[in-house]
Amino acid sequence: MNPTFSEAAEAIESIEAAEATDVAMALAGVPQATRELSAFLAELRCDDIPADVMQAARALLLDWFGSVLAGRNARPVRVLETFARDQGPAHGLAECFTHRQSTSPYFAALINGASSHVVEQDDLHNASVLHPATVVFPALLAAAAEGRHTGHDLLVAAIAGYEAGIRIGEFLGRSHYRVFHTTATVGTLAAAVAVAKLRGYDQERILQTLGSAGTQAAGLWEFLREAADSKQLHTAKAAANGYLAAWLAGAGLTGARNILEGRQGLAAGMSSDADAAALRDGLGRRWATAETSFKYFASCRHTHPAADALLKLLRDEALDPADLESVTTHVHQGAIDVLGAVDVPSSVHQAKFSMGTVLGLVAWHGHAGLLEFDRHALSDPRVAALREKVEMVLDPEVDTAYPRRWIGRVTARDRRGVLYEARVDVPKGDPGNALTREELEAKVLHLAAYADGASPAEVRGLIDTVWSLGAEPLPARWLPTP
């Protein structure tokens, strides 16, 4: 006998009630910090976010576009493009900004994620030591191509990815960064959250997304010692795997809800100083997105404070770099852990992780930008000579302040034996010493021109599009097909 309408309705209600009970029981087993973070992400709405934070997200997106266009010709990116052409569709829904063709969202996230981490100009959040843009935006723009979304949808999802990724990075602590490239590991989860938010996932599905993202998190610093290409693979895979984790959760694939704090989760395997309180720190009050720094120099961020301080010293003391006999940079342990792997750089990219090379460039050429690295990092004997005079020493004050504050302090001795000292408490690009709107736009124009990624007119159009993101639908294409 067929059931009546009322009987069918009662059966459906019974099933829904059972599912709700199952979810409630599952959530009850999730630690409080993870539960609060996932609830915040699920409930976040455009009206909850201050206008200045939304504007910060626009600026971070614009900054990212510059980096992805600048990295387009790098060999690692070309290798990944070849892989995508061999393995993926000839055309797809999503834009690949390196060659202006379309591909599947997964491969677009992969390639754009690699390209935006090549020239070392993508953003960084100090306290988490995470580069959010290079993983969040490739995954998010790939996912946005699958449906109709507004500018506000994109910005809210990006902010969700930033807020989650930054707190997870802080949660894993300093010990994590000594071995693991945080942008690769935590970046997978940040990208996944951004896509999950764009797709409108509830708390339960966000937890499932985090589970599948966290179990894929990987990325080791060893590549620096050999000047290997793994850094671009790290961000490529973090963006693509984040997209994959969110897609799978939407299709019903389950992941460990307690991937962050569980006995065999991320903290257990990748940290010795994890602090669960960081996961819920100031949710809805402290907007970590707006704390993110824009990179001024085209080098590892750990070199920036010292570079700023040396420039200040040379300027204030009217010193000739040729007169410098020794330069000591007073740094935090994280700088030693990462930069200490590079002695004499063998490639331009490895030179970006050489404290001495960066200081040599700023001393002799006034800046450590893309052109300075390409033209002088490996070929200027004056840069090489100064590099040999630079040493890093652990400074207790600088180390204690890190990672929330990145203090720049250098001492230098000239040929006469005179000792000089300079200090910078807020490096250029930090929120307290931010790039102006004009400086940011000039940076993006310069980055796009560096690899002929886009014409000035195209970049101007992109700038206008990003600043005007709001309630209107996203553009069908961000850049025209050549």
- Whether pLDDT at 307 is above 90: yes
| 482 found inside a domain | no
Same-domain status, 113 and 261:
yes
Q: The CATH number of the domain where 92 resides is what?
A: 1.10.4100.10
Same-domain status, 221 and 327:
no
Same-domain status, 99 and 232:
yes
Q: How far apart are CA 476 and CA 155, in angstroms?
A: 16
| 308 found inside a domain | yes
The residue among 132, 164, 124 whose CA lies nearest residue 334 is 124
- The mean pLDDT of the chain is 94
Domain span including residue 215: 31-291
| 231-253 per-position pLDDT tens digit | 999 999 999 999 999 999 999 99
Q: For the chain, how many structural domains are there in total?
A: 2
Among the three residues 291, 324, 345, which one is the final residue of a domain in this structure? 291
Residue bearing the bigger pLDDT, 320 or 10: 320
| 336 found inside a domain | yes
Q: How far apart are CA 37 and CA 376, in angstroms?
A: 46
Same-domain status, 263 and 348:
no
Among the three residues 403, 428, 453, which one is the final residue of a domain in this structure? 428
Strand 390-394: give its sheet, edge to edge.
390-394, 324-331, 408-414, 419-424
Same-domain status, 225 and 127:
yes
| Cβ density class 8-20: b for 16+ within 10 Å, e for less | eeeeeeeeeeeee
Same-domain status, 388 and 245:
no
| 142-153 per-position pLDDT tens digit | 999 999 999 999
Q: How far apart are CA 353 and CA 121, in angstroms?
A: 13
| 202-218 per-position pLDDT tens digit | 999 999 999 999 999 99
Same-domain status, 396 and 266:
no
The alpha carbon of residue 405 and the mean position of all alpha carbons in its chain are separated, in whole angstroms, by 18
Among the three residues 265, 291, 317, which one is the final residue of a domain in this structure? 291
Give residue 27's pLDDT: 77
- Whether pLDDT at 19 is above 80: no
Neighbours of 50 (CB within 10 A): 10
20-34, 353-367, 454-468: segment of lowest average pLDDT: 20-34
Q: The CATH number of the domain where 396 resides is what?
A: 3.30.1330.120
